[in-house]
Structure 1
Amino acid sequence: MQSFLNQISEELWKKNSSFDNLIFVLPGKRAGTFLKNNISQTVGKTIFAPEIYSIESFIEMISGLSYATNTQQLFELYNAYLNTGSNEKESFYSFSKWGQILLQDFNEIDRYLVPPEKLFSYLSVIQEMNQWHLKPNKTKLIEDYLSFWNNLEELHSAFNKNLLENGSGHQGLVYREACQNLSDYINTSKNKKHVFIGFNALNSAEVFIIKEFLKEGNSDIYWDIDICFLEDKIHDAGFFIRQYQKEWSYFKDHSLKGLSEYYSTTKNIQITGVPKNVSQAKYVGDLILDLNEKDPNQIKNTAVILGDETLLNPILNSLPAEINQVNITMGYPLDKTPIAGMFTQLFDLYIQLDSQGWFYKNLLSFLVHPYVQKLLSSEDKNIVNGIKAEVNKRNWIYITPSKLKSIFPETTEGLTLLFSYENAEPSHFLNSVIALIELLKRNFQLQENHLELEYLYHFHTLFNELKMLSGEYAFLHDLKALQSIFKELISTEKVNFRGEPLEGLQIMGMLESRNLDFETVIITSVNEGILPAGKTNNSFIPFDIKREFGLPAYKEKDAVYTYHFYRLLQRAKNIYLIYNTEPDVIEGGEKSRFISQLLTDENHIENIVAKIAVPQINSILNTPVSIEKDSDIMSKISAVFKKGLSPSSLTNYIKNPINFYKQKILKLEETLEVEETIASKTFGTILHKAMEILYEPFLGAFLTEGKLKEQRPKIRGVVKHELLKTYAEEDISRGKNLIAFNVIVAYIDSFILKEIENIKHHTIKIIALEKDLSVDIDVPGIDTPVILKGTLDRVDEKDGMLRIIDYKTGSVLSSNVEVVLWDEIIENYDRSKAFQLLCYSFMYQIINPIEKMSAGIISFKNLGSGPFYFSTKNSRNTSKKDFNITKDTLDLFQEQLVKLIQEIANPAVPFIAKED
């Protein structure tokens, strides 16, 4: 295969004895590097390299202007917007949302040499027609709306004028100026021959410039297209060139040059559907490994073309280790770099900052960013972990810079720069960010992390530009506006990779492949919405006006993608097209129309292999987790027995032995977390403590109506006091915490009212409150002593009958405290509440022997149902219950308790997980 550039360089060398007087103009810089290499190989001797320009740099030279950066354009446009028209002006933050669209439209108008006064006149008339109504007077809103459209011509003119005064311009303005200066340039370069190579879709300014050079007779143009597409009157790959061939007077006397006939040659085409983007990257990695194993030299003439450029990182990570030379001919978007996330979060953090401080979740999320951890790293202390621990411990819902400083009085430089109220002001924020970049720079230099330093350099440049602009333009006065322009900047800026362009595997975007040819081409993301991009219309100019003035619309944009796609296929021998099979992805869910077109192409239908590739999935048997009890675990079980088993730990074992293993053997405690609203466990703790305080005056005495009524006004104060122990530094007078506070108060008040009604018919004497119990029990087969311990919420006597009462804040059913078959009390977790009541009764009976007692649960959620007393039944179908707990009852329970403890202590019975 002879490449297009090689073909052109050979042809030109035959026609010209020297390249000294030739100026080459190509679509992009990348092709210029390859052309220079092809000229070197063609000539075979040392010569002066000819002048080679990309079309943009060539037109920039003719115009005498320099290209303004996207940021400069946006600021100049807003400046012009403020100084034109009399309608009310939007803030820079709001303007930046639609300003970019206006920039694109102005750019397109000038590149296509459209008379602005005529187009904007059309546009304003159409908008006025759209707003017609029968009322004689327009509303102010409509008047302002129409004023905007009427002022667009003035805005365009003022914007261009401001740029010209600075010797710069947007691309369209540079192109328009180049057209005006063209005759002067041609006159001063008559001894030079200009050769235009490999163009396809040209805007009106480019068409005018090239036609003017061709008219002089000392210039030439070579098209990079296969004759197959040119002769097919409906194939979009030849759409533009057929148009030029028909419309340019030059081609009445001259034939098209640069045509080839490679597309119809035999090719190996594989079309593969792969689920998800990461799978595409993995598939490309396996494909390249396979190609390398078959023929390592083939990789030198292989290109991976990324339809979706965000796949760059996954593909780089998926390349086989055997590929040691890779050239990336594309920029990596700055907003996809890891450090971009840190600055984005920092902006959000200060925009969300209010008088209360930062919401703890936002701050903790920011602290886990790896670069923040680098900034706060210290040899002698882990600052990030220290902050997280203190926030959880003190239950800080909102965190201020002063709170952070109270944790680390000897603050590090990073902590001071990151967290300060002063940073809420744009100039301070920018100064802090630039200082943070310097800190990170020192860190990366010590680690010799060159890639991160490259990212950092771009952000350093960007923030310095923002600092300069914020000082120059008064309207950049708040963080929201600053963040808006920051996001615009990083979405358009790219980190360019530098490598050896002529060696190794080539990875590039679709545009970078212009004029380049490879024997093996791998194209990813060949999906609708990506290749081609689809019908996106980010423009203020309606479709019909675009058509009227010759501006490109969907048809032209699709034709551009079609040309680039098929041009890659022209000379390639091995073609691998990969698409995402998933129909639910945001960008492109079905295979591209290009694939459907290929599958019906008579030239290649026999050479195409279409398949779906899916990752191999090995089924995993769902076997429950099982922990064997070795000698170490057995010794820890003995230690647990000596320390004491609580009813809740035993019911935890009944629910899931693995939970018991984690809690008691591994001693894995629940992670301490901030409770922004009162958690159920904290809710119960506060209620229990408040009940103890309110009923303390009754210890050893009978409840009386008068004294109970005296306690009611104290409820709010007691609950608030207990609540503030947990939320000492937070406001509990609003939101969900206020609701929870009132619920606890209502629960206790309702309970006391119910007690008052109760004592009208019964006598109740309080025996104990929150009483700690601990007893030793003998378990056959276990040498070590086994301690059973627990805390009774309340012990009282009702009409002379001893009652053990357990408070619950959740719902309780009577079936939870009923026992029919005694085995189920240690096998069925639904009977855990009955198990706990019997544990308390069993311990109390050992310490204070008594013939008969009762035990029940008071559920504050359903107080109206009264206490749910433990009972035994002979059958599930009978309603007859025995509520008395006697020695016989406790003996039956003891059998089950001993059986449960023996199971825990049995080395032959592993801890086996139960399904929830």
Structure 2
Amino acid sequence: MTTFIFDVLKDLKNSTQSFSELTFIVPSKRAGLFLKHQLPQVLNQTIFSPEIISIEEFVGQLSQLKTISNTELLFEFYHSYSQLTKPQKRDSFDTFTKWAQILLQDFNEIDRYLIPQKKIFNYLGAIQDLNHWSLEINKTDFVKNYLSFWNKLYSYYEHFHEALLAKGLGYQGLVYREAVENLESYIQNNSKKQHVFLGFNALNTSESTIIQELLQNEMAKVYWDIDAEFFNNKNHDAGLFTRQYKNNWKHFKTHPFNWVTKHYSEEKNISVFGIPKNIGQAKYIGSILKKLQGNNPSLQNTAVVLGDENLLVPVLNSIPPNVDALNITMGFPLKSIPLATLFESLFLLHKHSPTTFYYKDVVKIISHQFIKPLFFVENIDYSSIIAETIDHNNLVYLKKEKLNEIAPKSENIIDLLFSKWGMSVENTLENCTNLILLIKQHLDKNKTANLLALEYLYRFSTLFKEISRLNSEHPYIDNVSTLHGIYKELLSSETLDFQGEPLQGLQIMGMLESRVLDFETVIISSVNEGILPSGKTQNSFIPFDVKLENQLPTYKEKDAVYTYHFYRLLQRAKNMYILYNTEADVLTGGEKSRFITQLELEGKHQINHKILAPNVPVIPAKLECIKKTPDLQKKLIALAGKGFSPSSLTNYVRNPIDFYFQSILKIREHNDVEETVAANTLGTVVHNTLEDFYKPLTGTILTIETIKQLKTNIEERVTYHFKNEYKQGDISTGKNLIIFEIAKRYVSNFLKLEMQALKAGNEIKILAIEADNKIEIHIPELDFPIKLKGKVDRVDECNGTIRIIDYKTGKVEQNQVEIVDWQDITTDYKKHSKSFQVLCYAYMMQASQNLKFPIEAGIISFKNLSSGFLKFAQKESSSSRKKDSLITQNTLLDFEAELKKLIIEICNPNIDFIEKQV
């Protein structure tokens, strides 16, 4: 295929002009690189290379101004704002930056389009006055200040404009305006110089003025890249600007318009794919490239154009591994680098100058991939020790001194991360710089393996030095919060540039980088409404109608720019793959771009449109099965010898796999920090408090006076056990304070229930509290010892009947401790786990203490205290109201039979641990 650049060079070769005397002006530096590459393909002799520059460089030469960054502009503009605004009415720099960004964009547009500044700013002030408050006689101070701001816009602009010119500096718009001012002088001094403008489309007024003046003075040629399909169709936005130039420029009344081509009508293979999610598009781009390699292994003359530049990393990870030559035009945003998350976390931590730090923030920082190695001292990982100490002691908030106490040999890095920040900007910048140096010292130990990480550090070091320079020249950053805003502003504009082979192999670029370039195969991603084109977004102080009146660009013109770039990629390409996101994401995606619909409606080309979905294999749900190997059987025998607890047996009934993990492998869930007191912690506190109260009363008969005495100690004992269980967690505020009060109420209500029973004439004698039991069960089918163990919360004698009581802080109903069919007790966990546990306790107590029958066993539920003692009961049928709550020898024999069946099943080497489908 022949490219637009090649066609331009061939046309120039046929003229008498020497290439060495030409100055080529192109939309971007990348276009200039491709132009230089194609020169030898046209020329057959050695020449001095012509000057090839971008339009930005050319305008910079004309204006003789240095373009500065947007961040530096904010500082310069704040200086002008401060000079013209009284201190008592002046916004802080932090507040100023929020509205100044928009105003600077408007300054830029006004200058690029050569709008009379005073006229438009005065017009804006008059609009605000007319719209809102012109009819009000007595205006409030707020209204006066508001109108004063709008009336001062021209003063701000004029002072800012003059201050920048005095320093030889400028933003893009000012550079363009000055270039036009200096154009006449440039023409006089360079009358013999010839300029070639190629590949331009949407020109601002400054660019249009410059090119027209050079054309009128016969110092330039201009080549347009537009197809007849777009140019001749008055409704097609791809030809919007070139039609205007053809009709409005005087030069084209007497000179030819180069060129209107007919490449778009040539046969093309266009495929449109709707794919869910951005990652799906990235993966499919990899699949397309792999297929293309069959005919073109090097992927020469192939481009991937990313509509959404956030897809860069996923696409890079999806490229086939055997792609040798690759060039990435777009830079990788610094804000996406792992180091950015570290400094973001530090800024968020210190922007309010805290004295204590939230444990999640601490763990996040010390666990960061760049920080964790710095805590490794003398083969001890102090970052892990800090994290474990936080978990173990339930530390929700920590001071720096506590961190130094936990990790005494990491004081330097702890001080750097968690102290000496305060609200001092200088300290913060110094700490960031020192932290970078500290990380560098560690990475330097193995430079070869850490080249990319060192490059990250270098770019962040440069960024903080730039902030330090700006702050020293313009001391407007007065706190860490403002510094954080400036840091994010700089970070958003900085990129890590890739190095590649720009003229060979696969090319990856953004939409704007594709200007002037032609490729045989093009893959475009994210062709969705809101991305291509970006839609009706307007971030400006200038109203829409005022923009129209002054011929400033609106969303209509911005859409036309992207329409041109999209269709220009199609002009000479033979194969087009257009991808869009089918999923309705929060901000983007879901609706395919109007460009795709337009392609389909035009009917010029056959469009292969498919909706794709990832190939997700159907993996049938397979229940996990653990074979009982000889080694596993040995562990089971050892466990049986130590003793099965009632909870472990009910765990097996619920799910044998859980029993395997918890009882055999001893795997426990990780105990996270309890910001809010957990239910099991509350239960432990209540249990331990009642144990303190009743253990000394073992063997005695309860009296009302005794219970009254216990009630006076509730506050002290509950507090003690909370501190013991909840460690250093705070129970003085919020939900934890409520739970603390609930614990006291549980104990108080229980004692109240006890007093009511005593007042009713009941005699209660405490026999045992937290009684440890361990008994051996004889099972003829098993040739090894089997033991059952457990701790009973309370055993007492009420009116001559022995009661075995289990405390539950959760809610339990009477029907949960009742049984009809004995076989269900070891098969139905949800209905009968409570019955199984209390019968286990009764069985163990009878075997160890030889209690006299009949006995009662049951639960006291602290969330259901009004129901009192919930006794185990046996019913004839589920609908029967008749039930027997007394446990006799026969009751325990029936239970023993089911218990032995369960233990035999657990220990049977031929019955594997098979997961239950929950």
What range is the shorter-chain TM-score in? over 0.9
Other-structure match for 1:805: 805
Other-structure match for 2:458: 457
The answer on whether the counterparts of 1:423 and 1:432 sit within 8 Å (CA) in structure 2 is: no
Other-structure match for 2:706: 707
- After TM superposition, the structure 1 = structure 2 runs for residues 668-747 of structure 1, keeping only pairs within 5 Å, are 668-747=667-746
2:824 maps to amino acid? E
Other-structure match for 1:344: 344
SS at match of 1:805: strand
SS at match of 1:199: coil
SS at match of 1:768: strand
Deviation at 1:133, TM superposition (A): 7.2
1:427 matches 2:426: yes
The answer on whether the counterparts of 1:690 and 1:722 sit within 8 Å (CA) in structure 2 is: yes
Other-structure match for 1:870: 872
Cα separation, 2, equivalents of 1:731 and 1:393: 15
Cα separation, 2, equivalents of 1:635 and 1:613: 53
**Residues 88 and 671 of structure 1: CA distance in aligned 2, closer, same or farther (over 3 Å):** same
Cα separation, 2, equivalents of 1:123 and 1:634: 86
- The one-character-per-residue Cα deviations of 1:497-547 (angstroms, maximum 9, x if unpaired) are 222211111111111110011111111111111111111111111101111
1:860 matches 2:862: yes
Other-structure match for 1:372: 371
Moved more, 468-477 or 860-869: 468-477
Other-structure match for 2:334: 334
Other-structure match for 1:764: 764
Cα separation, 2, equivalents of 1:37 and 1:295: 21
SS at match of 1:531: coil
- The one-character-per-residue Cα deviations of 1:585-634 (angstroms, maximum 9, x if unpaired) are 52132111111111122322xx3211122221211111211111111111
1:647 maps to amino acid? P
1:736 maps to amino acid? K
Other-structure match for 2:321: 321
SS at match of 1:269: strand
The answer on whether the counterparts of 2:353 and 2:421 sit within 8 Å (CA) in structure 1 is: no
Other-structure match for 1:608: 607
Other-structure match for 1:410: 409
SS at match of 2:14: helix
Other-structure match for 1:112: 113
Cα separation, 1, equivalents of 2:470 and 2:784: 77
SS at match of 1:8: helix
Deviation at 1:33, TM superposition (A): 0.5
Cα separation, 2, equivalents of 1:694 and 1:294: 85
SS at match of 1:391: helix
Moved more, 683-692 or 409-418: 409-418
Cα separation, 1, equivalents of 2:257 and 2:283: 43
Deviation at 1:705, TM superposition (A): 1.1
1:862 maps to amino acid? N
Cα separation, 2, equivalents of 1:652 and 1:433: 52
The answer on whether the counterparts of 2:326 and 2:504 sit within 8 Å (CA) in structure 1 is: yes
Deviation at 1:353, TM superposition (A): 5.3
Other-structure match for 2:246: 245
Deviation at 1:444, TM superposition (A): 4.2
Cα separation, 2, equivalents of 1:43 and 1:754: 105
Deviation at 1:90, TM superposition (A): 2.6
Other-structure match for 2:28: 28
Cα separation, 1, equivalents of 2:542 and 2:236: 28
The answer on whether the counterparts of 1:85 and 1:147 sit within 8 Å (CA) in structure 2 is: no
Moved more, 196-205 or 727-736: 727-736
- After TM superposition, the structure 1 = structure 2 runs for residues 55-70 of structure 1, keeping only pairs within 5 Å, are 55-70=55-70
**Residues 262 and 374 of structure 1: CA distance in aligned 2, closer, same or farther (over 3 Å):** farther
Other-structure match for 1:47: 47
2:471 maps to amino acid? S
1:899 matches 2:901: yes
SS at match of 1:220: strand
- The one-character-per-residue Cα deviations of 1:312-347 (angstroms, maximum 9, x if unpaired) are 111111011121110111112221222212221221
Other-structure match for 1:556: 557
Moved more, 14-23 or 284-293: 14-23
The answer on whether the counterparts of 2:352 and 2:423 sit within 8 Å (CA) in structure 1 is: no
The answer on whether the counterparts of 1:774 and 1:788 sit within 8 Å (CA) in structure 2 is: yes
Other-structure match for 1:593: 594
Moved more, 469-478 or 525-534: 469-478
The answer on whether the counterparts of 1:23 and 1:52 sit within 8 Å (CA) in structure 2 is: yes
- After TM superposition, the structure 1 = structure 2 runs for residues 504-653 of structure 1, keeping only pairs within 5 Å, are 504-604=505-605, 607-653=606-652
The answer on whether the counterparts of 1:522 and 1:576 sit within 8 Å (CA) in structure 2 is: yes
The answer on whether the counterparts of 2:771 and 2:791 sit within 8 Å (CA) in structure 1 is: yes
- After TM superposition, the structure 1 = structure 2 runs for residues 274-289 of structure 1, keeping only pairs within 5 Å, are 274-289=275-290
Deviation at 1:352, TM superposition (A): 5.6
The answer on whether the counterparts of 1:634 and 1:907 sit within 8 Å (CA) in structure 2 is: yes
**Residues 496 and 136 of structure 1: CA distance in aligned 2, closer, same or farther (over 3 Å):** same
Cα separation, 1, equivalents of 2:642 and 2:416: 49
1:720 maps to amino acid? T
Q: Percent identity?
A: 48
1:495 matches 2:496: yes
2:664 maps to amino acid? I
The answer on whether the counterparts of 1:818 and 1:834 sit within 8 Å (CA) in structure 2 is: yes
The answer on whether the counterparts of 1:8 and 1:258 sit within 8 Å (CA) in structure 2 is: no
Deviation at 1:689, TM superposition (A): 0.6
**Residues 377 and 572 of structure 1: CA distance in aligned 2, closer, same or farther (over 3 Å):** farther
SS at match of 1:807: strand
Cα separation, 2, equivalents of 1:148 and 1:514: 40
Moved more, 85-94 or 249-258: 85-94
Cα separation, 2, equivalents of 1:32 and 1:769: 89
Deviation at 1:14, TM superposition (A): 2.1
Moved more, 306-315 or 439-448: 439-448
Other-structure match for 2:914: 912
Other-structure match for 2:184: 183
Cα separation, 1, equivalents of 2:623 and 2:591: 40
- The one-character-per-residue Cα deviations of 1:107-156 (angstroms, maximum 9, x if unpaired) are 11111111111111111111122223765322222222222212211112
SS at match of 1:515: coil
Deviation at 1:649, TM superposition (A): 0.9
Cα separation, 2, equivalents of 1:789 and 1:470: 71
Other-structure match for 1:361: 360
Cα separation, 2, equivalents of 1:312 and 1:423: 38
Deviation at 1:413, TM superposition (A): 4.4
Deviation at 1:441, TM superposition (A): 3.0
Other-structure match for 1:203: 204
SS at match of 2:578: strand
The answer on whether the counterparts of 1:375 and 1:436 sit within 8 Å (CA) in structure 2 is: no
Cα separation, 2, equivalents of 1:393 and 1:894: 40
1:675 maps to amino acid? E
Cα separation, 2, equivalents of 1:217 and 1:377: 71
2:731 maps to amino acid? I
- The one-character-per-residue Cα deviations of 1:16-47 (angstroms, maximum 9, x if unpaired) are 35222211111111100011111122113332
Moved more, 175-184 or 364-373: 364-373
- The one-character-per-residue Cα deviations of 1:797-830 (angstroms, maximum 9, x if unpaired) are 1111111111110000111100110011111112
Cα separation, 1, equivalents of 2:205 and 2:378: 63
Structure 1 unmatched ranges of 5 or more? none
SS at match of 2:371: helix
The answer on whether the counterparts of 1:25 and 1:54 sit within 8 Å (CA) in structure 2 is: yes
- The one-character-per-residue Cα deviations of 1:728-755 (angstroms, maximum 9, x if unpaired) are 4343211111111111111111111121
User: Considering only aligned residues, what root-mean-square deviation do their CA atoms show, in Å?
Assistant: 1.6
The answer on whether the counterparts of 1:269 and 1:574 sit within 8 Å (CA) in structure 2 is: yes
SS at match of 1:575: strand
The answer on whether the counterparts of 1:395 and 1:726 sit within 8 Å (CA) in structure 2 is: no
SS at match of 1:672: coil
The answer on whether the counterparts of 2:808 and 2:860 sit within 8 Å (CA) in structure 1 is: yes
The answer on whether the counterparts of 1:131 and 1:142 sit within 8 Å (CA) in structure 2 is: no
Moved more, 133-142 or 235-244: 133-142
Other-structure match for 2:214: 213
Other-structure match for 1:851: 853
The answer on whether the counterparts of 1:825 and 1:834 sit within 8 Å (CA) in structure 2 is: yes
Other-structure match for 2:824: 824
Moved more, 168-177 or 13-22: 13-22
2:848 maps to amino acid? I
